[in-house]
Structure 1
Amino acid sequence: MDCCCRARRPDLGLALFGRFLGTGLRTNEIVATTFLKCLCCAKRTEEVVKVLLHRMPELGCVPNAISYSIVLKSLCENSMSQQALDLLQMVGKEGGCLRDVVAYNTIIHGFFKEGGIDKACHLFHEMMRQGVVPTVVTYNTVIDALCKAGEMDKAELVFQQMARNGAQPNKVTCNGSKFSSLTDGYCSVGKMDKTFKLLDAMVSVGIEPDAVTYSALLDGYFKNGRIDDGLTLFREMSCKGVKPTTVTYGIILDGLYRAGRTAAAKKMFDQMIKSGITVTVSIYTTPSFPVYKAYFNFFVFPI
């Protein structure tokens, strides 16, 4: 049944479960939990809740934390975070499930994904009132979502709370990588002074800024028209031994071209080539592509 789920054929897993019941074999928690996974994979979300609450006890199986986690995750992935919260609160009152940090993290992330920022923040605070201690994952989820929503003041309060509660920030907390982070968030609203305070805080807890950090800072500088400050930061980056990436150069090139500093952009492009950075499609799909095209026609492929 688990292999069927992994092969994206939950229908076969469900059919196999029917045959299993037909043999008269006794169902245990492992089999029942795998059946729940098949239902979730088949997007039969409402049915899986009924199985969890009613069918499993009828089969002589007591739902455990893993069973509830599977169902909660399925509900949240299908934009049914409120139903997931209702389920969590119900089983919590009945004592049938331990309301742990993993369950709260799942629903908080679900609310943020659905745009329910107030609901997610309320649940975050309710979680702590219930005595459930947030992890770094919890804080990262909340900070990331608040930054994406432009709620930087709230994000900063959560970050400060994180430090007070002894949760160690990591690179996901501080860097603008896959998620919109504090660094990226501050840059997006032009609060560059905040980004450098954050940079100092990172170093103080042993997190060395990397190319992702610097790229986020550079993006903030160029978007806010602080071209010379951005170039100074780029030189500082190189002096500290942090190697620029294609993304880093793309940010600088786009910023220079937008500012009309085409000569500086040409010099930067040449530097990028000499440093061995592979020119990817991202360089040619920036908003300044027409200028790049003109540059290539004139400098690289002269008629």
Structure 2
Amino acid sequence: MKRQSELSFSLSQMERAVEILDEMLLAGTCPNEHRYTTIMHGYASLGDTGKAFEYFSKLKNEGLEFDVSTYEALLKACCKAGRMQSALAVIKEMSAQKIPRNTFVYNILIDGWARRGDVWEAADLMQQMKQEGVQPDIHTYTSFINACCKAGDVLRATKTMEEMELVRVKPNVKTYTTLIHGWARASLPEKALRCFEQMKSAGLKPDKAVYHCLMTSLLSRACVVEEYIYSGILHICKIGLCSWDGDDEAADSMCRSCFFFMIGCVIVSRSSPMPL
């Protein structure tokens, strides 16, 4: 079962939730801290810091108790909106209230800094986690790898993968995809392909995002004519090797057949075989 901080809500769902909350108040039923916190998490998932803090104020003004989950909602709202200084202010208040930071709090913060590509802040949080005895999980490591890749420090991202193996945290599809994107951004398709092979060896199934990333990376290093590659991909789609429905635009969608055709183009274009 997902924690509240991991849930996502649509705007229509939030509007309905607020309507129910208002109906409760009109009926003379006072919402408890759990209901307010749920509303806060809903607005946090939308990145609406104003509403998240508004309901936090209501919770406090009514004298209700709040816990780490309440602060998780505020942090999620701040980080999703890119307001990292506000997130730090929330952390300061948590310390004043003597509410300890757990793995979920650190995950939200590390992900927030990762979105900005600030690997130094993310690394500092990783260090704080270890000092406080808080165990990083798969989400922690994946967010940190994302921060490394966005900062162009793919070697640190690779070392983080090695650390995961040591502490027996298995990378998932998102972890590998993040690292593949990192190698692709660094214009090192060979490294991206090696990571891709490791992903498959681990029994994980790549999705379209992975194939799209690899094809884009390979294109950046290919020495063959771009029109030739495009016509080849279009041909693969038209002869039915992927889900092409007759629309030329739909034929641009990535599939396994197109991907392996691309690898063939790049290998042919090189004087030596591509190392995998």
TM-score where L is the length of structure 2:
0.68
Residues 45, 75 of structure 1: 8 Å contact kept: no
Pick aligned residue for 1:256 from 215, 219, 226: 226
**Map 1:124-139 → 2, pairs under 5 A:** 124-139=126-141
Find out whether 1:273 has 2:241 as its counterpart: no
CA distance, structure 1, for counterparts of residue 187 and residue 198 of structure 2: 19
- Secondary structure of the residue that 1:43 maps to in structure 2? helix
**Map 1:1-303 → 2, pairs under 5 A:** 6-8=13-15, 12=19, 16=23, 19=26, 23=28, 28-34=32-38, 36=40, 43-51=50-58, 54-56=60-62, 59=63, 61-92=64-95, 94-95=97-98, 97-175=99-177, 181-209=178-206, 212-225=209-222, 227=224, 256-257=226-227, 262=228, 265-275=230-240, 277-278=243-244, 279=247, 281=249
Alignment RMSD (CA, Å) = 3.6
| Residue-by-residue CA offset, 1:208-242 (whole Å, 9 max, x unaligned) | 55655444333222211255xxxxxxxxxxxxxxx
- Secondary structure of the residue that 1:131 maps to in structure 2? coil
The amino acid across from 2:102 in the alignment is: D
Per the TM alignment, residue 63 of structure 1 is displaced from its structure 2 partner at its CA by 0.8
The amino acid across from 2:69 in the alignment is: I
Query: Which stretch of the first structure deviates more once superposed, 34-43 or 75-84?
Result: 34-43
| Residue-by-residue CA offset, 1:65-101 (whole Å, 9 max, x unaligned) | 3322222222223333233233234424543x34111
CA distance, structure 2, for counterparts of residue 51 and residue 128 of structure 1: 35
Residues 10, 38 of structure 1: 8 Å contact kept: no
CA distance, structure 2, for counterparts of residue 13 and residue 42 of structure 1: 21
The amino acid across from 1:74 in the alignment is: A
Change over 3 Å in CA distance of 1:162–1:148 after alignment to 2: same
The amino acid across from 2:15 in the alignment is: R
User: Percent of aligned positions with the same letter in both sequences?
Assistant: 21
TM-score where L is the length of structure 1:
0.63
CA distance, structure 1, for counterparts of residue 15 and residue 213 of structure 2: 38
| Residue-by-residue CA offset, 1:242-282 (whole Å, 9 max, x unaligned) | xxxxxxxxxxxxx732xxxx3x6435422320115324536
Bigger relative CO (Cα 8 Å, ≥ 6 apart): 2
Gaps of 5+ in 2: 1-8, 254-276
CA distance, structure 2, for counterparts of residue 38 and residue 202 of structure 1: 34
Residues 33, 66 of structure 2: 8 Å contact kept: yes
- Secondary structure of the residue that 2:50 maps to in structure 1? coil
Residues 174, 202 of structure 1: 8 Å contact kept: yes
